[in-house]
Structure 1
Amino acid sequence: MTGWHAADDLVARYTDGSLPEPDAWSLEKHLESCGSCAARASRAARTGAAGPVLAQVRVAVLDSVPHPVRAPLAAPSPPTSPTPTAPRCARAAGRRLGRVVWAAGPALRGAWTGALLLVAVGALALAYGGGFAGARPLLLAVAPVVPVAGVALSYGRHADPLYELVAASPSGGLRLLLTRTAAVLAVSVPLLTAVGLLLPAAGPRLPQVPMAAAWLLPGLALTLATLALSGYTGCRTGSAVVGGGWLLALTAPVLASIGPGPTATGSGLTDRLAQQLSLYFTGASAQWGWAAGAALCALLVAARRTAYDRLETM
């Protein structure tokens, strides 16, 4: 139950179909949690132009259901003391948690989860199984685009078998997209940061590699940039543009520096990658730049929040 209740004319326009679609979706979301307004909307529908049709449908449904055989009346049982029930707040919290888990479902399973585990286990295997000193630079290069890929693979008709219901639901759109993005970040951020801390430090002859948590602000900024671009192009296209742009900006200077000599070897490429990562990640100016970019993308997402209601059609 909420402290606000829909006006009578708003309910009447909703039941007769004259309420604009955004307002109807907003009212439907309110009716999910307000029993008083839901009862008023039901009464308005029954007394309106569709009332006779609804009554006929109700009679037809009841007639099609076989009536159970009445059991003989039993002697009244002695009164018993009421059994203790769970507190209302616990039940409400359980329902909210269930809705969140259901909404975040595609973000916690499927191909993205396997790719996340592959990145984490692969980095540890390269460092400790293969003795590869460049495991941490490679992890830091890939980590910012892992949540971006998670957003692309957890939202849309390709990821959700109930996308038609999601598209028509008032809980869809930006709210559901943010829920699944939060689920992606909640899984990927702790795991990749922990793996970065477990990787061995670079040797004394190698360039200094950014800290294991240096990718967090860049990863958040790239994720928000994906959400902002998705309002124009859809999730998969936005994720591909942002993720591909990041990998290009990171690898193009490294490949351009390849020349004859030791820089063409694997260790030379790892050194150049570490230097490029330090340029993007290390220092207050770089981190403040990522923070400003994240804030701008968040403002753009908020300003275009209605565009995400049509995201399932992109």
Structure 2
Amino acid sequence: MTNGNARIWHVSDDLAARYAEGVLPEPDAWSLEKHVEGCGGCAATVSEAVRGTAAGTVLAQVRDAVLASMPPAQAAPAVRRSSPRRPRVPHRFARLLWAAGPAVRGAWLPAVLVVAAGALALAYGTGYPGARALLLAVAPVVPVAGVALSYGPHADPLHEVTAATPGGGLRLALTRTVAVLAVSLPLLTLTGLLLPASGAPAAAAWLLPGLALALGSLALASFVGCRTAALLTGGGWLLAVLGPVPAAPGGAAGARLAEQLSRCFDGVGAQSAWASAAVLSAVLVTARRPVYDRPLGR
């Protein structure tokens, strides 16, 4: 694997063959997959080794079927990209965005922007005083929805294949969860800071609850599937917070919602409970790790 330098190495034919046969130890397989992301020559070596296996034959048949169903204008570039010569490596940010999952590159991201813009319009366009409280009530559900849309058979056409690779399974699920949190947490927190307080909790008070619900949803997904888990965690949260609000008299709905959120968010006790829930969810996710190597239910 080395090339005269401990920091520079390339994939040998033997290493590529063992990877293609599925007998390479998992840490070495992870290292190989990370290396070929930026090394076109090694990517071609591994690709050639995989083509010689039974799985490579099946993948070649799938590729031919896909190309046969594509219009000629799209099929020609695809054929050129499949050349065994050194492939052109896309920009790292583009690869990272693609790996981040359907939630970040699909309809979820515009939905987050709509939630943020809607809260600002509600506060400064109509003068509604409870805009921050309403945003804080919805914000913890946003990462949950992103996690649900990022992983599972509905998110990846080749989910069964990717889940079985060393870079798939729980590793891929956590990568996409981090991408969802990295987008939603700062964006919605910044939006909360721009809204009038009007008795609502601090703009950052929802961060631990949002993290706990996202991890809880990911842990529950190992039992019931991503979308069902998101429905249970996100729906349960909205029901608990928004349920008592319609009973508020007159125009006191905003104040009642702010009061509900204060009970859930404010104080060391409440935040400690959310932190404990996040830790327990992370432990459960780790304990259930083998389950993520199989296709999760819907």
TM-score, normalization: structure 2?
A: 0.71
- Deviations 1:20-39 (CA, angstroms, capped at 9, x unpaired): xxx7666643543689xx9x
Q: What is the SS of the residue equivalent to 1:132?
A: coil
Are 1:290 and 2:274 counterparts?
yes
Are 1:147 and 2:132 counterparts?
no
Conservation of the 8 A alpha-carbon contact between 2:245 and 2:253:
yes
Q: Which residue identity is paired with 1:250?
A: V
Aligned partner of 1:213 in structure 2 is 204
Q: What is the SS of the residue equivalent to 1:211?
A: coil
Are 1:175 and 2:171 counterparts?
yes
Aligned partner of 2:60 in structure 1 is none
Aligned partner of 1:72 in structure 2 is none
C-alpha distance in 2, partners of 1:16/1:210?
54
What is the CA distance between 1:14 and its match in structure 2? 6.0
C-alpha distance in 2, partners of 1:18/1:200?
57
C-alpha distance in 2, partners of 1:165/1:310?
9
Conservation of the 8 A alpha-carbon contact between 1:14 and 1:24:
no
Choose from 218, 221, 227 the match for 2:218: 227
C-alpha distance in 2, partners of 1:231/1:289?
23
Q: Which residue identity is paired with 1:32?
A: E
Q: Which residue identity is paired with 2:30?
A: K
Aligned partner of 1:264 in structure 2 is 249
Q: Which residue identity is paired with 2:275?
A: A
C-alpha distance in 2, partners of 1:26/1:306?
16
- Deviations 1:217-238 (CA, angstroms, capped at 9, x unpaired): 1101111101110111111111
Q: Which residue identity is paired with 1:179?
A: T
C-alpha distance in 1, partners of 2:171/2:20?
27
C-alpha distance in 2, partners of 1:144/1:195?
14
What is the CA distance between 1:102 and its match in structure 2? 2.8
C-alpha distance in 1, partners of 2:121/2:22?
61
Are 1:241 and 2:237 counterparts?
no
C-alpha distance in 2, partners of 1:245/1:277?
14
C-alpha distance in 2, partners of 1:219/1:145?
7
Aligned partner of 1:115 in structure 2 is 111
Q: What is the SS of the residue equivalent to 2:188?
A: helix
Are 1:276 and 2:260 counterparts?
yes
C-alpha distance in 2, partners of 1:157/1:246?
25
Q: Which residue identity is paired with 1:230?
A: A
When residues 26 and 226 of structure 1 are mapped into structure 2, their CA distance, relative to the original with a 3 A threshold, is same
Instruction: Report sequence identity in percent.
Output: 58
Q: What is the SS of the residue equivalent to 1:311?
A: coil
When residues 313 and 224 of structure 1 are mapped into structure 2, their CA distance, relative to the original with a 3 A threshold, is closer
Conservation of the 8 A alpha-carbon contact between 2:160 and 2:295:
no
What is the CA distance between 1:136 and its match in structure 2? 0.7
Conservation of the 8 A alpha-carbon contact between 2:163 and 2:292:
no
Aligned partner of 2:33 in structure 1 is 32
Q: What is the SS of the residue equivalent to 1:264?
A: coil
Q: Which residue identity is paired with 1:169?
A: T
Conservation of the 8 A alpha-carbon contact between 1:231 and 1:304:
yes
C-alpha distance in 2, partners of 1:198/1:292?
29
Conservation of the 8 A alpha-carbon contact between 1:123 and 1:136:
yes
What is the CA distance between 1:95 and its match in structure 2? 7.8
Aligned partner of 2:156 in structure 1 is 160
- Deviations 1:189-221 (CA, angstroms, capped at 9, x unpaired): 11101110111231xxxxx21000000011011
When residues 254 and 183 of structure 1 are mapped into structure 2, their CA distance, relative to the original with a 3 A threshold, is same
- Deviations 1:71-119 (CA, angstroms, capped at 9, x unpaired): xxxxxxxxxxxxxxxxxxxxxxx98656533310423122211221111
Of the two, which has the highest radius of gyration? 1
Conservation of the 8 A alpha-carbon contact between 2:222 and 2:296:
no
Q: What is the SS of the residue equivalent to 1:277?
A: helix
Q: How many residues are matched?
A: 247
Q: Which residue identity is paired with 2:256?
A: R
Measured on the aligned residues, the alpha-carbon RMSD in Å equals 3.5
Q: Which residue identity is paired with 1:241?
A: L
TM-score, normalization: structure 1?
A: 0.68
